[in-house]
Structure formats: structure tokens, C-alpha cells
């Protein structure tokens, strides 16, 4: 493996970016293929934003609580970065969903270009962070 490839793969921002993109793709595909909008209990709907918040909290708290371990064990750090990114992706997608469909749950509004642009903006921000951190460590 070349040094440049190794540096790309050693960047936790890459795994955070991958987690975000994969979460958005899974959430959008699930809803598009006819999945239920959210899990429900007693008339209350639990959207995937809650899972995203839980993933972000668990991975963030774990990262900061076990800081020495995360820096010694690269795979553990990359896993936490991926989980954090996945949670961010679920939060981002759900926020777009709730803002776009409103109270009526009109799913055609969910797939309007504006929502896609918001997702692209979040992906672009993480891509910028990844590229910046890649060249910063040069």
C-alpha cells in the first residue's frame, strides 16, 4: 500500500463521511421502498432521529471517555468515527424529513430537490473536513 493511500485510510474523517453517506442512503431507500415512516408505540411515532442521537451520544461519549484507548487502537477509533457519522446521517436525514413533510407526511415532499441539496451540503461539509485534515497532516 502506498503512503498516500495509507494516509487516506488512516483518517477518521473518512469513516465519519462514509457513515453519514451510508446512513442517508439506507434511510432514503427504506422510506422509498415502502418502509414505515417510524416505529410506533401507543400512538407515538419514534423517528430515526432518535437512533441517530443515541449513536452520536454513545460514540461521542465513548471516544472522549476512552481517549487513550481510541488513539492506541486505530480500528476502535475508526469504528467510533463510522458510528458517529452514521448517527449524524440519520439525524440529518430525519431533520430534512420532518421539515419537508410537516404534519401531513406527504412523502412526495421528502424527495424534492431541496432536501437532497441539504443532504449534499452536509456531505460536502464532511468532505471538506476530510480533505482539510488529509492535507493538514501532510
pLDDT in tens, 37-86: 566 677 777 778 889 999 999 999 999 888 888 778 889 999 999 999 99
Where would I find the H helices in the chain?
3-9, 12-32, 48-65, 67-72, 74-101, 107-110, 113-136
Structural domain spans, the chain? 10-26+44-136
Who's near 25: CB < 8 A, 6+ residues apart?
none
Is residue 24 a contact partner of residue 89, using CB atoms and an 8 Å limit?
A: yes
Is residue 72 a contact partner of residue 60, using CB atoms and an 8 Å limit?
A: no
pLDDT band of residue 1 (cuts 50, 70, 90) is: low
Least confident of 16-20, 73-77, 85-89, 96-100: 96-100
Q: What is the pTM of this model?
A: 0.79
- Please report, in angstroms and rounded to a whole number, the separation of the first and last CA atoms in the chain: 17
Amino acid at each position: 500500500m502506498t503512503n498516500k493511500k495509507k494516509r487516506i485510510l488512516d483518517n477518521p474523517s473518512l469513516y465519519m463521511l462514509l457513515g453519514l453517506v451510508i446512513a442517508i442512503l439506507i434511510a432514503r431507500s427504506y422510506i422509498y421502498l415502502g418502509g414505515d415512516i417510524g416505529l410506533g408505540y401507543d400512538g407515538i411515532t419514534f423517528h430515526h432521529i432518535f437512533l441517530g442521537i443515541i449513536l452520536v451520544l454513545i460514540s461521542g461519549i465513548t471516544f472522549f471517555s476512552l481517549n487513550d484507548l481510541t488513539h492506541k487502537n486505530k480500528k476502535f477509533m475508526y469504528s467510533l468515527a463510522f458510528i458517529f457519522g452514521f448517527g449524524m446521517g440519520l439525524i440529518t436525514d430525519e431533520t430534512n424529513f420532518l421539515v419537508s413533510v410537516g404534519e401531513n407526511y406527504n412523502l412526495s415532499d421528502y424527495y424534492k430537490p431541496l432536501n437532497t441539496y441539504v443532504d449534499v451540503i452536509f456531505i460536502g461539509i464532511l468532505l471538506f473536513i476530510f480533505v482539510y485534515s488529509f492535507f493538514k497532516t501532510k
